[in-house]
């Protein structure tokens, strides 16, 4: 599991597809500049054996989810990192993240779910009535009550350990960031390995997650369902080759708030997705590719599963022991 702001790398990939409008599916309208965003593991029950007809991306769980922390666990990990930093700085006389509370965990899960619902473009009919293709304003926040720009020189030095320590205050090696990282690792939460992007088993699931998503977008079943979706959209007078190019229409980025046309188009988009079963086909194809990858590297995935189980246990213990 590779942490990007408390969410999974698949959503980072998928928002790049949505905003770039290219690279994930063929054809389409003029694209907006590429960008990267966060996402999560689908949170619901079991993987169906045949192509399902879901009404939500979150309705089923992809195979790779068994080898990843859950959205809740990711949010807990982010919270613990911030809390440990806060406690360390408090011992040095600083009031760091004064508004931090366990409420950021629920907010982290909510943000993950929002991005996850957009893996194949917008799919929440309630949300698009207000936001169209725009992200809700509450998603933009990081969940941290303050940012690095709010820190004084001494506090920044204590946090990072990259500047001379304040007189008379013994700053841990690597600053409080380093101290928090070591405490997480001592609890069995190996964030360095997760963030390395290397061949460590804990990054294996992330690499397969990305590869299966990318491969699915050029597969015959997905290309065919995109063609049916495109034909459905033309019935409304909307001309897009894929859901990604609809979301990347530059008309939507010209305003901070969605126009009535944008909302209408997003509603057509979701209606056509449900009509031709874009979500079900995408899920089935991605699941098949993930199952193949897991089977091909069974021993490595078995080890990855043990790592995730150990980290989950460490999270439970640390959440119970760290003072709120």
SS3 of residue 133 by DSSP:
coil
Q: How is residue 53 annotated by DSSP?
A: -
Q: What whole-number distance in Å separates Cα of residue 23 and Cα of residue 76? A: 33
Domain span at 62: 9-40+57-188+198-319
257-291 residue pLDDT tens: 999 999 999 999 999 999 999 999 999 999 999 99
Q: How far, in Å, CA of 318 to CA of 181, rounded?
A: 13
Q: What pLDDT is recorded for position 152?
A: 86
For residue 1, tell me if it sits in a domain: no
CA distances from 29 to 25, 45, 110, 230 (A): 12, 36, 31, 12
Is residue 265 a contact partner of residue 246, using CB atoms and an 8 Å limit? yes
Residue 4 in contact with residue 12, Cβ under 8 Å? yes
Residue 140 lies in a domain: yes
- Dihedral angle sign, alpha carbons of residues 155, 157, 158, 160: positive
Distance CA(52)–CA(230), nearest Å, equals 21
In a domain, 85, yes or no: yes
Q: What pLDDT is recorded for position 49?
A: 58
Identify the burial level of 12 via C-beta atoms within 10 angstroms of its C-beta, where 0-12 means exposed, 13-18 middle and 19 or more buried: buried
Residue 3: HSE in the Cβ half-sphere, 13 Å Cα cutoff: 22
> pLDDT tens for residues 103-146?
999 999 999 999 999 999 999 999 999 999 999 988 876 444 45
Q: What is the pLDDT of residue 148?
A: 55
CA Rg value for the chain? 21
Q: Based on the structure, what is the number of domains in the chain?
A: 1
* Confidence (pLDDT) at 153: 85
In percent, the amount of the chain with pLDDT more than 70 equals 77
187 in Cβ contact with 204 (< 8 Å) = no
Kindly state whether residue 49 falls inside one of the protein's structural domains: no
- In sequence order, which ranges of the chain are alpha helices (DSSP H)? 9-20, 71-91, 103-116, 125-131, 153-160, 175-186, 191-196, 201-217, 220-234, 243-247, 260-276, 278-296, 298-321
Helices 175-186 and 71-91: crossing angle, nearest 10°? 130
Domain contains 167:
yes
In a domain, 239, yes or no: yes
Q: What is the mean pLDDT of residues 247-263?
A: 96
Handedness of CA 62, 67, 68, 72 (dihedral sign): positive
Q: Could you tell me what percent of the chain has a pLDDT over 90? A: 68
**What's the whole-model pTM score?**
0.81
Assigned domain for 34 exists: yes
Query: Which has the closest alpha carbon to 20: 206, 217, 167, 159?
Result: 217
Q: Looking at the domain assignment, is residue 324 inside a domain? A: no
Q: How far apart are CA 307 and CA 239, in angstroms?
A: 46
**Each residue's pLDDT tens digit, 165-209:** 666 678 899 999 999 999 999 999 976 555 444 445 557 999 999
Q: Which of 244, 213, 249 has its CA nearest to residue 230?
A: 244
DSSP state of 7: B
In angstroms, the CA 213 to CA 170 distance is: 47
Which residue has tokens 């991306």?
Answer: 57
């Amino acid at each position: 599991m590779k942490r990007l702001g408390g969410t999974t790398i698949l959503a980072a990939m998928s928002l790049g597809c949505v905003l770039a409008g290219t690279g994930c599916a063929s054809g389409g309208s003029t694209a907006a500049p590429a960008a990267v965003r966060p996402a999560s593991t689908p949170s619901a029950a079991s993987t169906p054996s045949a192509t399902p007809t879901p009404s939500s991306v979150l309705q089923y769980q992809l195979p790779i989810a068994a080898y990843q922390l859950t959205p809740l666990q990711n949010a807990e990990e982010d919270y613990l990192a911030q809390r440990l930093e806060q406690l360390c700085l408090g011992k040095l006389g600083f009031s760091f993240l004064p508004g931090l509370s366990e409420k950021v965990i629920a907010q982290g899960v909510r943000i993950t779910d929002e991005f996850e619902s957009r893996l194949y473009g917008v799919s929440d009919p309630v949300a698009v009535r207000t936001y169209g293709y725009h992200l809700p304003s509450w998603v933009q926040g990081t969940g941290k009550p303050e940012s690095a720009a709010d820190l004084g020189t001494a506090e920044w030095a204590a946090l990072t350990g990259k500047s001379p320590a304040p007189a008379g205050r013994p700053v841990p090696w690597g600053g409080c960031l380093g101290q928090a990282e070591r405490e997480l690792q001592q609890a069995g939460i190996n964030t360095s390995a997760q963030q390395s992007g290397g061949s460590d088993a804990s990054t294996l699931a992330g690499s397969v997650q990305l590869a299966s998503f990318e491969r699915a977008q050029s597969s015959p079943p997905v290309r065919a369902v995109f063609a049916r979706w495109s034909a459905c959209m033309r019935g409304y007078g909307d001309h897009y080759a894929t859901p990604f190019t609809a979301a990347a229409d530059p008309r939507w980025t010209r305003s901070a708030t969605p126009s009535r046309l944008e909302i209408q188009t997003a509603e057509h988009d979701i209606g056509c997705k449900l009509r031709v079963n874009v979500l079900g086909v995408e899920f089935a194809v991605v699941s098949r590719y993930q199952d193949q990858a897991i089977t091909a590297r069974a021993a490595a995935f078995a080890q990855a599963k043990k790592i995730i189980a150990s980290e989950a246990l460490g999270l439970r213990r640390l959440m119970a022991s760290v003072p709120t």
